[in-house]
Amino acid sequence: MTVPHFMCRFTWVKISWGKSACWLISALSVAAIFALFLAVPSYYRVQAPVALIGTVKPSVPPLYSDSENRSFATGAEHTPAAIVSALIQGKSVRDASAESVSGLAAILLDPSKPLKVRRQAAWSLGKTGSTDAIAALRQALMAAPPSLKSTIAEALGHSRHPQARSLLLSLLQDDDETVVRGAVRGLAVTADRETVTILSAIIGDQRHSHAVRTEAALALGEVGTPEAYESLITLGGNEQDRDIAEAVLSGLGRQSFDQTEDFFRAYLGSTRVDSEMRILALESLGQATGDAAPFLATFLTSKDADVRAAAAWSIANLEEPADVAQALVDRLRIETQPEVRARMYQALENQEHIDSTILFPLIVSDGDTAARLAGMMLLATQVAFGEGDPALAKQFDEVMTPQLAELSINGQNFQIRLGSVIALRQARTAQSLQALDAIAIRSREAQIAQAAQLK
């Protein structure tokens, strides 16, 4: 019912009731109040959550650095402030998610809000991908602190809006390193040729800081295309960028091997990657999730002893390695380098199913003390956590416990002496526990004696 219609009915009813003339005067007064209310601009009826945001031109110039971005700025020079002002005042907008965009914009543009909350709002606006959301993000960039600008940059990478990329590219020219790193991460979301070209250029530009170049290299690894892999392989072969390449390999090694397998196959198969970088790549896979063990096992037969050791070391460090015990045992039979044998014993300690009857004679006959100690620690683990094989426990006490007791006192270095005590503690047989009691009394080293007492 319209206001005039309502007032007509109101007046007619009152007159028809035969009341005094004051009823008519009252009705006319109410009508006057309604008319005055409708004449007042909506600005005075709806109070913005953040006063006058978007109505005053900021003193900070827009962040545009090339002709494309300047063109974008010219075409939308007056639009963002008007849209954002409407958003935070609660006015309607064209986007289907207008209500949520309005609330998020109000949070993002309110400097009194916690920074964490504003960053969450920026992320959500980026995912929205509407023109109004982009306008709010652009407005926030005018005076946002670096950490918030960094989040906005990442959010722009996830935005479907056609103007988001232009704004994101402009942030790569920001003076703050934090912002540029955020822009790099946002750019990497789009895994196209242009992205690979831009990130590769950042990596090779010595004017950028080490942190920015490393961020670009890590982002390039996450792009995961053949072009990106080729660029990273080139990086690994550049001696001037070894420290960045090491950071990249470490970062990629922590990811799921299902996602990085293609890269590591290409990288380790390239003739441009020297032995040092191959070792770093293999060792980085010790942090990987997924089934990297079979791939690592293929390097146990490498002609380079350091490569073999790196592969075994990574298998030893995997959380849930696949069964590669046979490959390790086969190589142990012919391995000539003590360090490699020690790493292989450690890798076998990380395997669920091993044949102790085969390993026992290999370990006992090992001529290198450090390698033999690694083997004895492997068997001590089998004695303690195996299937309760009494024959193995008996062999261990007869042959290895006396050796470990002697090494704990007269071993050639502290690592050997401490490792021997640890092996005895690990086995936890009756004889090994008695040996620990004797070591605690005989040893002249406080640390060794204390370790022997910790049963």
Residue where the block lists tokens 């750019």: 187
Chain mean position to CA 369: 41
Separation between Cα atoms, residue 280 and residue 58, nearest integer Å: 49
By C-alpha distance, which of 111, 93, 115, 114 is closest to 102?
Answer: 93
Mean pLDDT (whole number) for 114-123: 94
Separation between Cα atoms, residue 52 and residue 264, nearest integer Å: 54
- Using alpha carbons, list the distances in angstroms from residue 446 to 118, 203, 407, 427, 436: 55, 51, 16, 22, 14
Separation between Cα atoms, residue 354 and residue 379, nearest integer Å: 10
Question: Which of the four pLDDT bands, split at 50, 70 and 90, describes residue 212?
Answer: very high
What is the residue type of 13?
A: V
70-79, 270-279, 380-389, 424-433: which has the minimum mean pLDDT?
70-79
How many other β-carbons are positioned within 10 Å of the β-carbon of residue 443? 18
Q: Give the 3-state secondary structure of residue 188.
A: coil
Question: Which of the four pLDDT bands, split at 50, 70 and 90, describes residue 221?
Answer: confident
Query: What pLDDT, on the 0 to 100 scale, is given for residue 62?
Result: 32
The contacts of residue 171 (CB under 8 Å, 6+ apart) are: 63, 141, 149, 152, 153, 156, 179, 180, 182, 183, 186
Query: What pLDDT, on the 0 to 100 scale, is given for residue 239?
Result: 67
- b/e map 121-157, b = 16+ CB within 10 Å: bbbbbbebbbbbbbbbbbbbbbebebbbbbbbbbbbb
Mean pLDDT (whole number) for 37-45: 36
Q: Give the 3-state secondary structure of residue 256.
A: strand
Mean pLDDT (whole number) for 97-102: 69
Separation between Cα atoms, residue 71 and residue 75, nearest integer Å: 6
Question: Which of the four pLDDT bands, split at 50, 70 and 90, describes residue 19?
Answer: very low
User: Which pLDDT tens digit goes with each residue over 266-300?
Assistant: 999 998 888 999 999 999 999 998 899 999 999 99
Question: Which of the four pLDDT bands, split at 50, 70 and 90, describes residue 73?
Answer: very low
How many other β-carbons are positioned within 10 Å of the β-carbon of residue 307? 20
- Using alpha carbons, list the distances in angstroms from residue 210 to 8, 69, 237: 78, 27, 18
Mean pLDDT (whole number) for 196-216: 91
Give the ranges where 17-97 is alpha helix by DSSP (H).
Answer: 22-39, 67-75, 79-88
By C-alpha distance, which of 146, 141, 183 is closest to 165?
Answer: 183
Separation between Cα atoms, residue 252 and residue 132, nearest integer Å: 36
Separation between Cα atoms, residue 401 and residue 415, nearest integer Å: 17
Residue 47 confidence (pLDDT) above 50:
no
User: Which pLDDT tens digit goes with each residue over 155-189?
Assistant: 999 998 999 999 999 999 999 999 999 999 999 99
Query: What pLDDT, on the 0 to 100 scale, is given for residue 387?
Result: 60
Query: What pLDDT, on the 0 to 100 scale, is given for residue 389?
Result: 77
And the tokens for 196? 């690979």
User: Which pLDDT tens digit goes with each residue over 439-452?
Assistant: 999 999 999 999 99
The contacts of residue 143 (CB under 8 Å, 6+ apart) are: 58, 60, 111
Residue 425 confidence (pLDDT) above 70:
yes
Question: Which of the four pLDDT bands, split at 50, 70 and 90, describes residue 304?
Answer: very high
Query: What pLDDT, on the 0 to 100 scale, is given for residue 433?
Result: 95
**Phi (first) and psi of residue 270, to 5 degrees:** -80, 140
And the tokens for 432? 């090994």
- The answer, as to whether pTM is greater than 0.95, is no
Query: What pLDDT, on the 0 to 100 scale, is given for residue 128?
Result: 87
Q: For 397, which DSSP code?
A: I
Query: What pLDDT, on the 0 to 100 scale, is given for residue 296?
Result: 98
Separation between Cα atoms, residue 110 and residue 103, nearest integer Å: 11
**Between residues 77 and 380, the one the model is more confident about:** 380
Identify any residues that bridge with 390 across adjacent strands, giving them in sequence order.
Answer: none
pLDDT > 70 in the chain, percent: 76
Q: Say if CB 169 and CB 69 are below 8 A apart.
A: yes
Query: What pLDDT, on the 0 to 100 scale, is given for residue 99?
Result: 54
Average pLDDT value for the chain:
80
And the tokens for 262? 């293609």
Helix-helix angle 242-253:257-269, to 10 degrees: 140
Q: Say if CB 98 and CB 92 are below 8 A apart.
A: yes
By C-alpha distance, which of 246, 181, 250 is closest to 219?
Answer: 181
33-47, 245-259, 382-396, 404-418: which has the minimum mean pLDDT?
33-47
